[in-house]
Each structure stands twice: as structure tokens, then as C-alpha cells.
């Protein structure tokens, strides 16, 4: 279910090099964002202790490791993510139906056995750094929107809670998967922001109006002259 409080819709991307940096950003933003995203760089550097640090401060974690492997391997990784009591984690929809189904079931069983909530499990459709030319380079010939819609529906069929997708694909995902299917959208930029390596972007207000449940935002906050002012601007934008 989509969060009601505007700040709870914001997932701050902790794309930093060191544990101390992560701690700084969590302390600064813990009252202004709903979830902290821990990705490959930070998790490779700091491991589970960074998740413990965030949770000890009463905050939620999105473990963004985008698992993609054979079904048994990803299911086992999903079990470990569940044991860490993260609020959500993700995997690549391109890993296939069997991989997704096995991971959903493994996480459910572990959570039930431990008496803890099952994390939301999200599928990554097409990375927001990719456009149709990039898709053709890896052998995907169909229109990008159609590919996203197909992968989103496959994820729904597998029992996933939602998808990570560009804000520009929200419409087709809602059409294929309904209103209850969660959509987490990176690639959030104001018109005045640098696009960096994001190809398919939208402003916070536009993304929420289009039907996004959560917004992943990193550099527009982290690189702002006043990060707290930047967050407040985003909250005001989506309220």
C-alpha cells in the first residue's frame, strides 16, 4: 500500500563510499525521509553493519543489490536479506519467473519462522540508465515501454510486491498490473537538476501524480548546497 505521509514516499539513496558518510546522512535525514537505500557500493564496503546502524536509529532499509542468478542462489540471498529485517529488497525481473517465485516463497517461509514481517520484494524491469538504443545493443529489439510492461506483468505473476521502474513507465505498469502493485521510481530530477547518467527522468511532483508509490532520490539531495532545504522542497512538491 502506498504510504500516506509525503516524507514516507522518499527513499534516500545512500550511494556513499564509507560507513561514516552513511551515518552522517542517516543522522541528518532520518526525520525527513521514509527509507534509506543501501546499494552495491556501500554494502560491499560496510556489509550488514550498515543495515544494523540504520535500523538501530529506527529507520527502514531498502537493500538494493538487484539479485540476478539461478533461482536457488537468489532465493538463498533473499532469505539472508529477510533475516536482516530490511523493509524491501530487489532482484532483476530478467532472472525469470522461477527465480522470482522461489525467492518470494523463501522469504515468506523465513519471515514466518522468525516471526518478522516479510520484506517487500521488488523486481527491476529495465535500468533507468538504459534507452532503446542500449536495449538493442544487448539484443532486445522491442519497444522499451512494451518490455517494461511485459516484465512488470511477469513479476506480478511471480508474486512480487512491485517493481522498480522509470517514472515514464508508470502508466503501462498500472495498466498491466493494477493499482495495488507497488512502483518504486528512481530517475527523479527537477528540470533544473543535472540528469547525470539517468536517461528517463521526471520531477517528484510529476512522478507522484503519475502514480509512483515511492521515489528514490540521491544526488539531487546529496549534492545540493542545502540538503535539508532540498528535501523540504521535494516534500512540498509531492504533498
| Catalytic choice (7, 66, 118, 222) | 66
The reply to whether 30 belongs to the active site is: no
Please, what's the largest Cα pairwise distance for the chain? 48
Distance CA 162, CA 155 (A): 7
**Buried b / exposed e across 198-215, counting CB within 10 Å, b at 16+?**
bbbbbbbebbbebebbbb
Query: CA angle, corner 44, sides to 48 and 115, nearest 5?
Result: 25
Nearest to 90 by CA among 161, 150, 151: 161
List active site positions.
66
Amino acid at each position: 500500500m502506498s504510504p500516506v505521509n509525503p516524507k514516507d514516499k522518499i527513499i534516500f539513496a545512500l550511494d556513499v563510499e564509507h560507513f561514516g558518510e552513511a551515518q552522517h546522512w542517516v543522522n541528518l535525514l532520518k526525520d525527513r525521509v521514509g527509507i534509506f537505500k543501501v546499494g552495491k557500493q556501500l554494502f560491499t564496503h560496510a556489509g550488514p553493519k550498515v543495515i544494523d546502524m540504520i535500523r538501530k536509529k529506527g529507520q527502514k532499509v531498502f537493500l538494493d543489490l538487484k539479485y540476478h542468478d539461478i533461482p536457488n542462489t537468489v532465493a538463498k540471498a533473499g532469505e539472508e536479506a529477510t533475516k536482516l529485517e530490511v523493509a524491501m529488497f530487489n532482484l532483476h525481473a530478467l532472472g525469470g519467473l522461477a527465480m522470482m517465485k522461489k525467492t518470494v516463497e523463501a522469504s515468506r517461509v523465513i519471515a514466518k519462522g522468525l516471526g518478522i514481517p516479510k520484506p517487500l520484494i521488488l523486481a527491476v524491469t529495465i535500468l533507468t540508465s538504459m534507452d532503446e538504443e542500449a536495449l538493442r545493443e544487448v539484443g532486445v529489439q522491442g519497444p522499451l515501454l512494451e518490455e517494461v510492461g511485459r516484465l512488470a506483468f511477469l513479476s506480478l505473476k511471480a508474486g512480487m510486491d512491485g517493481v522498480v521502474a522509470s517514472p515514464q513507465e508508470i502508466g503501462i505498469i498500472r495498466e498491466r498490473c493494477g493499482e495495488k502493485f507497488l512502483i518504486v521510481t528512481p530517475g527523479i530530477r527537477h528540470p533544473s537538476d543535472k540528469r547525470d547518467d539517468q536517461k528517463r527522468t521526471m520531477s517528484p511532483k510529476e512522478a507522484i501524480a503519475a502514480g509512483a508509490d515511492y521515489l528514490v532520490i540521491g544526488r539531487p539531495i546529496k549534492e545540493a548546497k542545502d540538503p535539508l532545504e532540498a528535501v523540504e522542497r521535494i516534500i512540498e512538491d509531492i504533498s
